[in-house]
């Protein structure tokens, strides 16, 4: 029996899945990755809940109560939590809504807005409740590493991931550091 595989979980909160798409951009290196690593909870596996993991990669900021629950589940399950992309790191595009009052937003969208019929704010218990603001994930749980970019390139993700898997402190070269 070989070395036990590294377990990796990934998720997207208030994000666009662009970081996940970029993750797939590591292309044929995915084959190298699956040699040494195994994906736990992730949109790629469709596993719904996390078991113990070595690394969790979180894309997207925290905009609602469900985001908080998912983020906490990953934080509890993993040894190292990686915040990936502009939204997870500073709220990103979803945080553009932070300049508006949440009450005003919901009212305009569901009550007073043009073309609204049957005006009411949807209140189904299935729907997550929105937070007043979109927050970067480091404001809600402890984060160990950050991979900036919108999205970070496949090369950037690969560089950090290989560093982490091999137990090195990740250091990004200049060409791989971008906030956009």
User: Least CB distance from residue 7 to another protein, whole Å?
Assistant: 22
Could you say which residues in the range 28-67 bind another protein, by CB under 8 A? Answer: 65
- Say whether residue 167 binds another protein (CB under 8 A): no
What CA–CA distance (Å, rounded) separates 46 from 36? 20
Through-space distance between the first and last CA atoms of the chain, rounded to whole angstroms: 43
Cβ atoms of residues 29 and 156 within 8 Å: no
* Residue 9 binding another protein, by CB under 8 A: no
Of 68 and 74, CB closest to another protein: 68
| 89 contributes a contact to another protein by CB under 8 A | yes
The CA-atom distances, in angstroms, between 175 and each of 127, 153, 159 are 41, 10, 12
Question: For residue 11, which of 54, 52, 61 has the smallest C-alpha distance?
Answer: 61
Residue 15 touches another protein, criterion: CB under 8 A: no
Judged by CB under 8 A, the residue of 39, 43, 73, 133 near another protein is 133
Residues 6+ positions from 137 with CB-CB distance below 8 Å: 13, 58, 60, 61, 62, 71, 83, 88, 89, 143
- Least distance between another protein and beta carbon 22 (Å): 13
Binding site for another protein (CB under 8 A): 65, 68, 83, 86, 89-93, 95-96, 98-99, 101-103, 106-107, 121-123, 125, 127, 129-133, 135-136, 138-143, 145-148, 150, 171-172, 174-175, 177-180
């Amino acid at each position: 029996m070989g070395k036990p595989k590294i377990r990796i979980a990934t998720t997207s909160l208030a994000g666009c899945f662009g970081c996940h798409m970029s993750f797939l951009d590591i292309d044929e290196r995915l084959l190298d990755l699956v040699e040494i690593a195994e994906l736990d909870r992730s949109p790629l596996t469709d596993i719904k809940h996390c078991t113990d993991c070595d690394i969790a990669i979180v894309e997207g900021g925290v905009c609602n109560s469900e985001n908080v629950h998912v983020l906490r589940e990953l934080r509890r399950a993993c040894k190292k939590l990686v915040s990936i992309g502009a939204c997870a790191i500073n709220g990103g595009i979803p945080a553009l809504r932070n300049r508006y009052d949440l009450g005003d937003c919901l009212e305009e969208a569901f009550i007073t807005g043009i073309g609204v019929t049957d005006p009411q704010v949807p209140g189904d218990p299935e729907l997550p409740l929105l937070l007043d603001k979109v927050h970067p994930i480091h404001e809600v749980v402890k984060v160990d590493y950050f991979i900036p970019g919108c999205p970070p390139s496949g090369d950037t993700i690969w560089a950090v991931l290989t560093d982490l898997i091999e137990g090195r402190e990740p250091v990004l070269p200049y060409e791989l550091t971008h906030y956009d």
